Amino acid sequence: MKSKFTWIMTLCLAFFIQFSFAQEKTVSGTVTSKADQMTMPGVNVVVQGTKRGVQTDFNGGYAIKASVGERLVFSIVGSKTVTVVVGGQTRVNVQLEDDNMVLENVIVEGYNVTKTKAKSNVASVTVSAQTIEGRPNASFIQTLQAQVAGLNITSGTGQPGGNSQVIIRGTGSINGKVEPLFVIDGIPLNNDNFRSINPDDIESVSVLKDAGATSIYGNRGANGVIIVKTKKGNFDSPLSVKYTSTTGFSTLQKTDYNLMNAQELLTTERAFGRGRGFTRGPGGGPMTDAQIAAAPNTNWNKYFFRTGVTQNHVVSISGGGKNATSFTSLGYFDQQGILKGSDLKRFSFRNNLTGKSNNDKFAYATTTSLNFSRRNEANAIGTGGVNQNYVLGANNSAPYISPNEYSTSQQLLADYNAQGGTLLLTPLFLIDKLKTFQNRLDELKGLVNLDGSYKITRDLTLGTALGLDYTQGNSYTWQSPTAFNTLLFSAAATAPDTENQFFERDLALSSTTRLNFNRSFNEKHTINAGAYLEYIKSNRNAFTFTQRGLNPKTTSPGAGTGYILDGPADDRNVPTVSASRAVTGLLSYFGNVDYDYDSKYGFGASIRRDASSRFAEDYRWGTFYSLSGRWNIDKEAFMQGSVFNGLKLRGSYGTSGNQDISNGVYLALNNTRELYTTGTGYNGTQSFILSQLAVPDLQWETTAQANVGVDFEIFKSRLRGSFDVYRKKTTDLFLSVPLSGVNATTGISKNFGALKNEGVEATLNYDLFKADKAGDFNMTLNFNGSYNKNTILDVAGTTGVIDNTTTVIQEGRTIDEFFLTRYAGVNPANGNLLFLTASGQVTENPNITGDRVLTGKSRIPLYQGGFGFNTKYKGFYFDTNFSFAAEVYRIDFDLQGLQNPTNNIGVFNVSADLLNAWTPTNRVTDIPSLKATNYAAQNNSDRYLVDASYVRLRFASFGYDVPKKQIEKTPFKSVRIFVQGENLVTFTKWRGWDAESPRTADQYQYPTPKLFSVGLQLEF
């Protein structure tokens, strides 16, 4: 009986236990942040292996039905995922830890869905909003500098709203476009001008580098792809309002040109026998010491440059319900340039919506951005225009000239004529221009994308997206009829007082239809595939007119008043007009597939067919493909217990194209058709004239790229990073091929030639100090660097050389390698300049063309990258970002002018270096005699070819996040105050304002400023 009773009790107990485990119950709790103990809304809580899931509410609370033994997974972007096994309890509270790897774990692969880095086969880096927002830069591109290995960004201008040059993995073309394709919210952009885009709207920027990621973009992906995602709201989240205000102050960086003061310059002029120091003394002779000592000292840098003030204000509103989210922002940006007369104002609006149906089958998203910018731009920058370029006046004007010498345009002309047309009055010319000239540019920029998708089955989704990129530009220039420049050229055949207006409208429409398949089999096999059809149509219309001759009594800038009509006797006031129109289209169909096995092995492939209207029908279609794979070595059994928390080997190979081959000109015809124009023919009659020979077999440039990379995490993920090795070869380069002169031209454009880029990239992050509890000290060191070697493989012509005077493009050498005569110093016997012949013999009279040699130096850096650290402690943070470039060379024409006594003494200021010039008693020096007879021989020499390598403190930010406990009784959810600086310190041999520039030579360019700012960020 006892045994029978025991058996019954055992059976009941087993049944009770089974019932307990199977019984579903409601589990609730609160999710908080481990860093600051604050509640976390919007956290995903999912029962593992099921479709049951919820999000935490505003107070971090949740409630979900689960059975004992099931696992609850807590996850949110920016925090490490936590898994909890449901036991007998009904309340489970969880703390989430910040994920230092979040940026490295998010990978965007263009048309592919976002995936974790562990399951990505490609070389792609994502930069988050944290390093972009709140910085007083007109363009978000400038904030990316030194953050991504292999991404080289150079601005070379401080003009507000000025463009930067963006290069990924080396220069991939000689005459074509060398910058990547930019895609914002799925809309491919026709240019890289982002002055009208608000950086604070950006959620992330992803840089796609290898063929595995870029080949799916076909004949637009040869130079890499940069994908920009803007901010969106979150489902089931309360209304959130965020306000960011930044005030910045930009100042001129210093030079090391060592300019003379007024006394040094007048003394030098007196000794040289030219200029005021020689002619303004008693009786028209040399000035006395007393006169020189009494001369004024004008700092023309301080006159033409200023401290520019920047204001940036952004208000954003976001939130979401069960089926819809919204993000809206309004922004105002106002930046004064450091150069007087230059500035940028921007008004921006954005509204992003997302939504879904109750059954999650239908989803939609819209992104709408409308922006207007107005900039006053300094023109003639980079030229030698003594009456046009303010930078020339700031750098070279004689300090003994005083601004008080200027009164009116008419008096300036009289002084100019009385002094024999001297250029010594250059700063006064430019003072007059500041008062009598305008150059304004307006831009209206609209971006709209509509996206919808429907789940046909659990695994199959059909979607479509429509994108619109609209840009309208209006530029306006006006020169007063009373300006000095107008009066100076009053006898010209056409009137110099002008008003010009230019209108340009650029509209691009894109349509992409997709069919995506995603399915997992047996919990180990996952397939993600997609098929796409894309069509892009672009249109550009432009017209311009120039009115010559303005009435000084009635003209008003921009009003169209005061136009003087052409008289019957001459054509002096005849206005000129012109118009243009361009259309292009791209039709593509493509597909991709990704396969994953047990999170250990992955394989990807893509193929794309493009048809571009830019080429003749027989050469319109092209095919591009890629293959990629990975091996997650850390998942193997033999890796268990090792120091590696993550280790992945990946590789890819593929092809992509560059359809922007005509000097990078958007919508260029690329010379595929024979064109005629109307012109002057025999005996002055109007005739049809051949303007372009047809080259119907032109096609895009093609780049094939191979990449091998390793991603790793060791020592409990404290040290993490990646290494990549790549080789890119571009063929069918767009070059000018020699042609017999019997065709009335000496060359035509053809696909001829090849080049390659080979390199290594490294990214490292190390948690030097890692907090164990909230408020402890955290410090992460970061580094990225790249080595890229560019080599020309083949160019047109029998010599294999394209001679550009100071640089050459030659087979076996780097693009734009300097080809110059070698400077050998100063002849101690007579103070003349010494040079080397091509064979190495010393001479004072080199053959300017025949004695040039390859220098092995180029404007393209061999090494570039960045490094810095991020620290946090009890709400305080301090972040830095250094940038560097090495083995990069440029010609310093500014220094050449300041050290050339023959051209400048008596006309402009010169460098105090000339005080150490050769004399019979100072024979050992590096400065030639002021009376050297062969200064002209230094043209096309390497005397001023300067090592422009640099290390710069690109960005530093110090701030404080007010603890949430201190503001819990206020309406604010978060409060942040911060100070930051850009371009703070630069270490370089370059003596000018800015070592950073994409040009081979610098001559009176707009300097990049140093910038300090303070900011406040409120969220409520």
The Cα–Cα gap between 169 and 147 comes to: 14
Instruction: For residue 590, give the nearest of 513, 657, 538, 702 by alpha carbon.
Output: 513
The Cα–Cα gap between 147 and 226 comes to: 13
Work out whether strand 863-873 and strand 778-794 pair parallel, antiparallel, or are unpaired: antiparallel
Local mean pLDDT, 10-residue blocks, the chain (1020 residues): 42 39 72 69 78 74 86 76 82 75 50 70 85 83 90 89 91 91 89 82 92 93 93 88 95 94 96 93 92 96 96 95 94 96 95 93 94 94 92 95 95 94 94 95 95 93 95 94 94 90 94 93 89 95 93 89 82 88 92 93 96 89 96 91 91 94 59 76 77 82 96 92 96 83 71 94 94 80 96 84 88 94 96 96 94 94 96 93 96 94 94 96 95 93 96 95 88 93 94 89 91 94
Which DSSP string do the residues of 465-485 spell out, in sequence order? EEEEEEEEEEEEEEE-TTSHH
pLDDT at 114: 54
CB atoms within 10 A of CB 197: 26
User: Which tokens belong to 469?
Assistant: 């990129």
The Cα–Cα gap between 437 and 557 comes to: 9
H or E stretch including 29? strand 24-33
Which SS3 state, helix, strand or coil, does residue 554 take?
coil
The Cα–Cα gap between 66 and 674 comes to: 73
Instruction: For residue 450, give the nearest of 468, 475, 426 by alpha carbon.
Output: 468
**Distances from the Cα of 268 to the Cα of 156, 275, 297, 396, 830, angstroms:** 33, 9, 15, 15, 19
The Cα–Cα gap between 284 and 729 comes to: 68
**Distances from the Cα of 225 to the Cα of 151, 207, 338, 656, angstroms:** 11, 6, 33, 11
Cα angle 201, 207, 209 (rounded to 5 degrees) comes to: 165
**Distances from the Cα of 753 to the Cα of 706, 745, 786, angstroms:** 20, 21, 26
HEC states along 274-287? Answer: CCHHHHCCHHHCCC
Spell out the residues 6+ positions from residue 570 whose beta carbon is closer than 8 angstroms to its own: none
Q: CB–CB of 950/885 below 8 Å?
A: yes
H or E stretch including 893? helix 893-898
Q: CB–CB of 776/873 below 8 Å?
A: yes
pTM: 0.88
pLDDT at 195: 82
Amino acid found at 708: V
Instruction: For residue 510, give the nearest of 593, 447, 454 by alpha carbon.
Output: 447
Residue identified by tokens 């000689």 is: 174
The Cα–Cα gap between 604 and 607 comes to: 11
**For the chain, what is the total number of helices (H) and then of strands (E)?**
13, 53
Beta partners for residue 512, in sequence order: 465, 534
CB atoms within 10 A of CB 410: 11
Question: What is the DSSP code (8-state) at residue 103?
Answer: H
pLDDT at 758: 97
**Distances from the Cα of 438 to the Cα of 109, 388, 488, angstroms:** 45, 12, 18
pLDDT at 766: 95
**Distances from the Cα of 578 to the Cα of 542, 594, 681, 684, angstroms:** 8, 52, 21, 21
The Cα–Cα gap between 479 and 863 comes to: 45
User: Which tokens belong to 538?
Assistant: 């672009």
Helices 409-418 and 426-436, packing angle to 10 deg: 160
CA torsion through residues 17, 21, 25, 27, sign: positive
Cα angle 286, 289, 291 (rounded to 5 degrees) comes to: 75
Instruction: For residue 717, give the nearest of 781, 771, 645, 782 by alpha carbon.
Output: 645
Quote the radius of gyration of the chain (alpha carbons, Å).
Answer: 33
User: Which tokens belong to 616?
Assistant: 């003749």
pLDDT at 271: 93
**Distances from the Cα of 858 to the Cα of 157, 167, 518, 988, 1006, angstroms:** 20, 15, 48, 17, 22
Beta partners for residue 268, in sequence order: none
Question: What is the DSSP code (8-state) at residue 618?
Answer: G
Taking all residues of the chain, what is their mean pLDDT, rounded to a whole number?
89
Strand ranges for 849-996 from DSSP E? 853-858, 863-873, 876-886, 889-892, 945-947, 950-961, 974-982, 986-988
